[in-house]
Chains A and B, each alone.
Chain A
Amino acid sequence: MTSEKKISPAQLMILLVLARVMHTMIFRSERFGTGVPMMLGLLLSTAIEAVLALPAVIYFTCGGSDPAEYLAGRFGVWLRVLYSGYFAVIGGATAALFTGFLESEFADITRPLIAMALLTAAAAYCSCGGIEGLARAGAVVFWLFAVLFAVMAAVNEGGFDMLNFSPMTSSDMPVFWRYVFENLSSAWWLPMLCALGVHLKKGAAAASFGYLGLKLIITEALLFLITAVLAGYVDVLGYPIFALGAYAKSDFIQRFDAINMLVWAINCVTVTAVYIYIISKPAGSAPPACAVSALAVLLIAAAVYRSGLKFDDPAFLIFKAAGVVILGVLVPFAAGIKLICKKRRNGA
């Protein structure tokens, strides 16, 4: 049992950021392009996320424990199973889409099922290390990513063309709103916060708003760079972070593909390990539970991969958004109301 283990707000923030970075890594930008509408859309969706995070933040700040357990009492395990199911799908889709990326960029050498199996096996092993181990590993991966991002930006061969930042016009509005919605539906850091908040020593607000700030900085910086330097070319390459590395070159490093892949793979393992840890929580996150959870993730990954489903397919968007609203907002909201009412009763 590792459920008593505690992590700091900064460690939780980094785990949430890594999950978001993973999502950005496998995000394909063809339908949105780049530019001001996306940058403003990100700003708006982050502001909305900050509001949506309030129930969970208030609940944990008031001293709440696992909201699912607290809300449903002895039936809380069933609510936790819902979290497990949600993250099994998110984890499976992440592994499948990462494999899809491997296949699109390295078609000659990628064996999709082997890649997915290796990924989930490594993630399952990592999840057995418990949340403390994952948090420490996450910090290392985060700094690896930060250094890679900074180096790729610094040695980028393209010039900055500020004319690529055209103001938004009425024709950009559909893209803007769709991007806002897709961003919000990808805010599964809220259910993650609910699932992992119990491990926080204190400082749910610091973890949440720190995450939002860091996510905004990283994603806006990425959007700024690819808009100013790559313009429409990012639509050709598809993956924005990969595109940034594709136009970076120095005497020391001629090609960033390999280093990119190294960091992406490590990040994918770490993030999938966190998902597996959350999935196996109802069973105590013991090694057998982690193994079964990893198997579930692998099966879902294989199914998602075979079906060709993408994160932005309508069905998936609705699933993701429903998970965010129910597990990330409504559950902590209800738990918070219950907790405050109980405190008032006790106080009275």
Chain B
Amino acid sequence: MKRLFILIAALIFLTGCSTVTQVQRRVVVHAIGIDPHEKGFEVSYQIFSGGEASSGGPVDASESTVVTLLAQGRNLYETEESLRLQTGKEVFLGDTELIVISEELFDEPLEPLLDYFRRSDIYLGVNVVYCRGSAQETIGAKLNQNSATAILLRGVIESAIEAGRACSSRIIEISNAVRGKQALPIPILSLEREDSGDSKETSLTDLTVGVFNSLVVSHSGSIGEIGENCAMGIRLLRGDVSEMSLTVPAGERYSAVQLEELGVSRSVSIKDGAPVIRVSITGQCSLRYGGDNFSEAKAAAEKQILSLCGEAFEKQRDLGEDLTGVLKLLRRYESGYAESIENDPERAVKEAVFEISCDLGKYSP
């Protein structure tokens, strides 16, 4: 049996030797920026360079080890091939941390891009976001924090998602939403340049980085933008946020309130032919800053939560797209009704009524 295992192990492990690619013969991509181009697409690939001169016109020609290479093509397969030809190296996308799509592609369907992401070796948990301005500029920005732009930007997005101010937009989530004919808000990354004089170099100190809006995308394309308040409301109504910080009025000043252990229970019933969705939000809150009147701050926080949910609900009704998982709820709890509106789901979304309640307790660690 010992020989048997040696044979199996050899079979498994040694087959990899036939097509092994040395690390220095690979281009390891960390971020991808996609812009429109007269040919189709212009894609910026942020890579770590080992220090040797890179061909292909790096956007960032500093001494930094992070460079951004440009490639054009009619589709993303062609741009990848172009990158391979430019560098003479195998392109490895398995380490990609972020995919940024230019605002000029807001109105273009996502499906062709998703198809490429799915077929490539990009990890399906990578966030896909839009950006203000060109993706090339966003990906190629130099942010002096001894870290690659990709890592910093990914951090910005993840922080926004964690704080409930944007919705998670991983490849798998966008793909499921598009396939399931649902709408999904995709964060828009803003990298706004402030006046930095004549200097061509841009550092973090003169850049405003953040996620302040999201683009609502459905299977048929983009529908419109929403602000971060609306995104917060959507996260609350979906029940997929566990903590959040709010700034609430306290007299003439403002207080910072931290919400912990947020829990959302949802139920649905049909009343007069229209779905009624009851959402009950519970959680614990603590006063972080500004005054010591907890009761007042708690009441203000509850009021703000209801307001955020109301904003999301109004937006959903205006757009006629399911942003809060109404259709899933109906399929789960009112399958008969869900079947009856299968051909006209927009009607159910527009007719849906939300009854929201919020009850916060005092946070005791």
Nearest A residue to B266 via CB reads: A163
In the complex, the answer to whether B332 meets A247 with C-beta atoms within 8 Å is no
The yes or no answer to B123 lying at the interface (CB within 8 A) is: yes
In the complex, the answer to whether B176 meets A233 with C-beta atoms within 8 Å is yes
In the complex, the answer to whether B335 meets A166 with C-beta atoms within 8 Å is yes
A263-276 near B? 1/0 per residue, CB < 8 Å: 00110010000000
B318-351 near A? 1/0 per residue, CB < 8 Å: 0000000100110110011011000000000000
The yes or no answer to A122 lying at the interface (CB within 8 A) is: yes
Chain B positions within 8 Å of A, measured between CB atoms, are 1, 4-5, 7-8, 11-12, 15, 18-19, 94, 118, 123-125, 172, 175-176, 179-180, 240, 325, 328-329, 331-332, 335-336, 338-339
In the complex, the answer to whether A232 meets B125 with C-beta atoms within 8 Å is no
In the complex, the answer to whether A233 meets B124 with C-beta atoms within 8 Å is yes
In the complex, the answer to whether B12 meets A133 with C-beta atoms within 8 Å is no
In the complex, the answer to whether B176 meets A231 with C-beta atoms within 8 Å is yes
Q: How many residues of chain A are within 8 Å of chain B by beta carbon?
A: 42
In the complex, the answer to whether A137 meets B19 with C-beta atoms within 8 Å is no
Q: How many A-B residue pairs have CB under 8 A?
A: 82
The yes or no answer to A5 lying at the interface (CB within 8 A) is: no
- On chain B, the residues within 8 Å of A171 by CB distance are 339
- On chain A, the residues within 8 Å of B94 by CB distance are 254-255
Partner of A133, one of B4, B176, B180, B240: B4
The yes or no answer to A315 lying at the interface (CB within 8 A) is: no
In the complex, the answer to whether A163 meets B332 with C-beta atoms within 8 Å is yes
- On chain A, the residues within 8 Å of B175 by CB distance are 232-233, 236
Interface of B is mostly: helix
B355 nearest CB across to chain A (Å)? 19
- On chain A, the residues within 8 Å of B325 by CB distance are 163
Chain A positions within 8 Å of B, measured between CB atoms, are 108-109, 118-119, 122, 125-126, 129, 133, 136-137, 140, 157-159, 161-167, 169-171, 230-233, 235-237, 246-247, 249, 254-255, 261-262, 265-266, 269
In the complex, the answer to whether B11 meets A232 with C-beta atoms within 8 Å is no
- On chain A, the residues within 8 Å of B123 by CB distance are 249, 255
Partner of B331, one of A126, A158, A166, A237: A166
With A165-B332, A236-B118 given, is the CB distance from A137 to B180 under 8 Å? no
- Alpha-carbon gap, A122 to B6, bound state (A): 11
In the complex, the answer to whether A249 meets B125 with C-beta atoms within 8 Å is yes
Nearest B residue to A270 via CB reads: B8
In the complex, the answer to whether A118 meets B176 with C-beta atoms within 8 Å is no
Partner of B4, one of A129, A165, A249, A261: A129
- Alpha-carbon gap, A167 to B15, bound state (A): 46
Q: In this complex, which of B5, B11, B172, B329 has the most chain A Cβ atoms within 10 angstroms of its Cβ?
A: B172
- On chain B, the residues within 8 Å of A230 by CB distance are 172
- Alpha-carbon gap, A109 to B8, bound state (A): 19
Counting from the closest, the 3 A-B pairs by CB-CB distance are A166-B331, A163-B328, A109-B19
